[in-house]
Amino acid sequence: MSNPAPSLGTGVIPPLVTPCGPDGRVDRDGLAAVVERVIGGGVHGLFVLGTTGEGPALSMEQKKSVVTTATEAAAGRLPVLVGVTDASFDGVRELSIHAAEAGAAATVLAPPPYSPTAGPELIHYLDAVADASPLPVFLYDIPSRTGAVPPEAVRHAMTLDRFVGFKDSSGRMVTLHEVIRERDANRPGFKVLVGPEELLGEAVLFGADGGVAGGANLFPALFVALYEAAAAGDLAGVRRLHGVVMEISATLYRVGQHGSSFIKSVKGALAELGVCGGGLAMPYEGFKPEDRPKVRKLLERAQTAVDASLGAVAS
């Protein structure tokens, strides 16, 4: 599979993990290896410093290192989106400027964490970001981390030229349908991306432009095939590939505990593949030695299922 140059915000855009060394510094070689892995799998863009990339846990210096490393590794082959969510408006502005200088294509912004924002306050905030940002911006709804983005704020973002899309990680298909309806009625071309990879096929079938699938760090070709099947209206293909995605979600991603299990599993599996280390930024910790054989076994099982599903697509 190849990665043709789609418009910004279309297709499979994996939220890249952030490999970290024992000293907490960004493992630039490891991140570059992840970039090469996903580009080789045919993805359509790259997203750094999201939830999967542990962006909120990194210092500004670390974040800038991630952005510089990813844009240099991508070398203009694919657009790079940068998560700039921060409790501080100055932090959002500083990282946005660095992203532009490094050659990123756009930023991704959720409401500021810790400070609850009602509808009018969030609209005021979006206006300020639109005025300050040197790059196009995707509004990011991730209620579990920052509180929900209310419908009026999404509608307002569609009136701002600087905002070019919406990433929905709420997990609520009703929300996604509402945004697609507003987009079609008021701003065609405003990109709509789904966050949970378990909803990728369904979302694209109903009009979303693509998805931000964390599992594409591991199995990029699987998610590209699922996106392509959905975009083509191939229901049988979507069902077959979606089944593999759900199997991975129910097994490999469940090793570990609490909210860190997904990130920990993806990083641990990448370590088993020799792509990068499996360490996590504080406050999380990587797998204990006794967990690694389980990760290895589930990874092997997942790879067998992925290979079989992609073989069926090829035939």
CB 210 within 8 A of CB 10: yes
Q: Which helix (H) or strand (E) holds 240?
A: helix 235-251
Q: Is 227 a catalytic residue?
A: no
Taking alpha carbons only, the member of 212, 170, 199 closest to residue 52 is 212
Q: Which helix (H) or strand (E) holds 138?
A: strand 137-141
Catalytic residue among 167, 191, 264, 267: 167
| Rg (alpha carbons) of the chain, rounded to whole number | 18
Distance CA 132, CA 239 (A): 43
Report strand pairing: 163-168 vs 137-141: parallel
Distances (CA, A) of 259 to 73, 283, 284: 29, 11, 10
Query: Residue 283, preceding bond cis, omega within 30 degrees?
Result: yes
Taking alpha carbons only, the member of 198, 146, 160, 161 closest to residue 176 is 198
Pull the structure tokens for residue 65.
């290192």
Terminal Cα distance for the chain, rounded: 14
Catalytic residue among 125, 140, 227, 253: 140
Q: Is 114 a catalytic residue?
A: no
Distance CA 17, CA 275 (A): 11
Numbered residues of the known binding site: 52, 212
Numbered residues of the known binding site for pyruvate: 52, 212
DSSP secondary structure string for all residues of 168-182? E-S--HHHHHHHHHH
Taking alpha carbons only, the member of 60, 33, 63 closest to residue 50 is 63
Residues designated catalytic: 140, 167
